[in-house]
Amino acid sequence: MHSWIFKGTLSTQSAPLKQHKEASVDLSQISLFPSVRRLLQIYNINPKDIKPAGPKGRILKGDVMKYISDRSLSPSVNNKREATEAAPKSSPVPASSLKNVFFEDLPISNMRKVIAERLTSSKKTTPHSYMQREIPIDKLLDLRKFINSTMNQKLSVNDFIIKGVAHCLHNSPKINVIFNKKTNTAESQKTVDISVAVAIEGGLITPIVFNADHKTLFEINDNVKQLAEKARKGTLQIHEFQGGSLTISNLGMYGVTQFTAVINPPQGIILSIGGSTSKLVVDQLTEKLYKETVITITLNFDHRVIDESDASQFLEDLENIFSDPKQLIL
């Protein structure tokens, strides 16, 4: 705001805005966006004076507004009303200052970089195939409730899932395989080692429950707690998170009902476990409705080493074991 003195008194009248020399170019002969053409006409600007930022050198509306703002231009007397309608509600912010106003660049941790590289490589080079199945877990929940009410140690649904997956994998050697990139072959695994995805500060890590098929539910519960604690403290040894037969990623505790994870090479399978939901089912014998609790399991497998029929049978085995979960405590 400038001050002008008239006869000894102070006036707060604003200084007149600069007038721009009228453009001598015929805008109708130039390829312009309608909004750009309108602004150039209102402010009598020669398009040759504008530095274009659009594709193939096209002038954008923002280019014109910046030109107007930088030079404090005002429209011609006849175009003032049009200028008010065409102009944005607030003065344009210079592009150079947007960075500090709207966002901040944050460094990527080494863990994030490794995760990004591995997942990108997996999606590019691993032929992912997908299968999904809704599996009833009412009997599993009843058994868990009974055990937790009678024992000092509390089991989680994930403990049952790990044990069930290990049990089925033990009986399915065809899918207990990994892909050897160097030899371009499928390697059969002699043990059942289950990787469990654990969220930690700055990323995700997959500590391994070794020989999970030979461990009890309580041993799995202890093992997972210990591994998760070590993962969050950053004290896991390399052998405790590198390897594994397959990975279980369970997001049910976060309210996610279904999702699709990315295979963790050289493993051939990753299981995406969603949270439980209730649904109405028709009894085929009585034709009556009853409520059933289900979880959605998505099986992602490497098609180079695992066939659809074997993957499908594995999901069916999981449904059978969860329908009779007492097998998991024998």
Alpha helices in 151-307 (DSSP H): 157-170, 217-233
**Cα angle value 7/74/6 (rounded, 5°):** 0
Q: Is the peptide bond before 266 cis (omega within 30 degrees of 0)?
A: yes
Q: Cα(272)–Cα(277) distance, rounded to whole angstroms?
A: 15
Helix (H, G, I), strand (E, B) or coil at 152: coil
Average pLDDT in the 23-38 region? 72
Active site residues: 303
Q: What pLDDT, on a 0 to 100 scale, did the predictor assign at position 96?
A: 53
All structural domains of the chain: 12-102 (no CATH), 110-329 (3.30.559.10)
Cβ 230 vs Cβ 236: under 8 Å: yes
**pTM score:** 0.69
Take residue 328 and report the two structure tokens written for it.
């998991």
Mean pLDDT of the chain: 85
What are the pLDDT digits (tens) for 75-85? Answer: 765 555 555 55
Q: What pLDDT, on a 0 to 100 scale, did the predictor assign at position 73?
A: 86
Average pLDDT in the 35-47 region? 86
Top-ranked range on mean pLDDT: pick from 99-103, 205-209, 325-329: 205-209
Dihedral sign computed on CA atoms, order 255, 257, 262, 267: positive
